[in-house]
Amino acid sequence: MLLENFWPNGARIAICLTFDNMGAAFDILRYGNSNGIASEGNYALYRGAPRIMDICDTYDIKTTFFVEGWNGENNPEILQEMIGRGHVVAGHGWMHEDWSRLAPEEERKLMEQSTNTIEKATGIHPTGWRGPGGGMTSNTLSYLQEFGYQYDSSFMDDDIPYLMKLRGHSIDLVQLPFSWQLDDAMYYSHSLHTPMEPFHVLDIWKEEFDFAYEETGYYMLCCHPRFTGRTVRSRVLEKLIQYIRGFEGIWFARCDEVAGWLREQSDEMGV
């Protein structure tokens, strides 16, 4: 299903570059510290995210950073820099918990804490959410609605975004699905026996874009500053951007822009 002429100015495809997991929250929660080989989150904070933002500045692209609320207390300056450069900050748990295993009262508390802390740090109420690792419980959608979220990007059930209220859910959220094949952790994580050579990843992501351009009209890339923000891997991101810019009818968009456009068009069509 091609979303032909659906996007603003008749664009053929919407491209969302998204970046998850910031600072040492994940590492401290897992290992109790962010030292030694558990310091990748610090790299993301001081090198990876700034390098990614510099690349985006070069091509005037605005993106979405899904960050743990913990950063609002511990690294507010990076969240403020993201906003200052035109990006949007969305929620990604409190400290990158295993979100699917949370008890209802703990989940609600952590989502409220994360939401309020991001808002305090940036001055903007977050409207988007991606569960850590895409994790959810049976209560997550209702909590998202309670805390004023407009879109979620945790599902893997479609090739294109959709209104969740049309899929058997009573919640009024836009879903922006993602996929493992467009997630850099699947190729670069140190948990892999042999991480993939960066420019092989570029070939995969180009092929995925070619299919999306012809068949779906939607391309959601999920990267991590601790992985894609590193040296040669950051060149893969830049070369992918250069490749995509060679096509006509493209729209690089933040997640809130895509969700807002889908909601607006659905309202106009009376959906």
Reduced to 3 DSSP states, what percent helix, strand and coil does the chain have, rounded to the nearest 5? Answer: 50, 15, 40
Q: Are 177 and 159 in contact (CB under 8 A)?
A: yes
Give the separation between CA 165 and CA 10, rounded to whole angstroms: 26
Give the separation between CA 73 and CA 262, rounded to whole angstroms: 33
Closest CA to 25 of 55, 85, 81, 66: 66
**207: three-class secondary structure by DSSP:** helix
- The predicted structure's pLDDT at residue 268: 61
Q: Are 78 and 22 in contact (CB under 8 A)?
A: yes
Q: Could you tell me which residues come within 8 angstroms of residue 159 by beta carbon, excluding any fewer than 6 positions away?
A: 1, 177, 212, 215, 216, 218
CA distances from 214 to 1, 34, 199, 204, 219 (A): 9, 43, 23, 16, 11
What pLDDT tens digit does each residue of the chain (271 aa) get?
567 679 999 999 999 999 999 999 999 999 999 999 899 999 999 999 999 999 999 999 999 999 999 999 999 999 999 999 999 999 999 999 999 999 999 999 999 999 999 999 999 999 999 999 999 999 999 999 999 999 999 999 999 999 998 777 778 999 999 999 999 999 998 766 688 999 999 999 999 999 999 999 999 999 999 999 999 999 999 999 999 999 999 999 999 999 999 999 887 655 5
Give the separation between CA 225 and CA 110, rounded to whole angstroms: 23
Domains of the chain: 8-268 (3.20.20.370)
- The predicted structure's pLDDT at residue 52: 98
- The predicted structure's pLDDT at residue 165: 85
Helix or strand run (H / E) with residue 113: helix 104-122
- The predicted structure's pLDDT at residue 160: 96
Parallel, antiparallel, or unpaired for β 174-175 and 162-163? antiparallel
Q: Is the dihedral of CA 168, 173, 178, 184 positive or negative?
A: negative
- The predicted structure's pLDDT at residue 264: 92
CA trace torsion 89, 92, 96, 101 (10° rounding):
170
Q: What's the start-to-end Cα distance of the chain, in Å?
A: 18
Enter the pTM of the model: 0.95
Residues in the chain: 271
Tokens 């026996």 sit at which residue?
Answer: 193
Give the separation between CA 14 and CA 177, rounded to whole angstroms: 13
**252: three-class secondary structure by DSSP:** strand
- The predicted structure's pLDDT at residue 3: 72
Give the separation between CA 125 and CA 105, rounded to whole angstroms: 22
- The predicted structure's pLDDT at residue 194: 80
Give the separation between CA 248 and CA 10, rounded to whole angstroms: 11
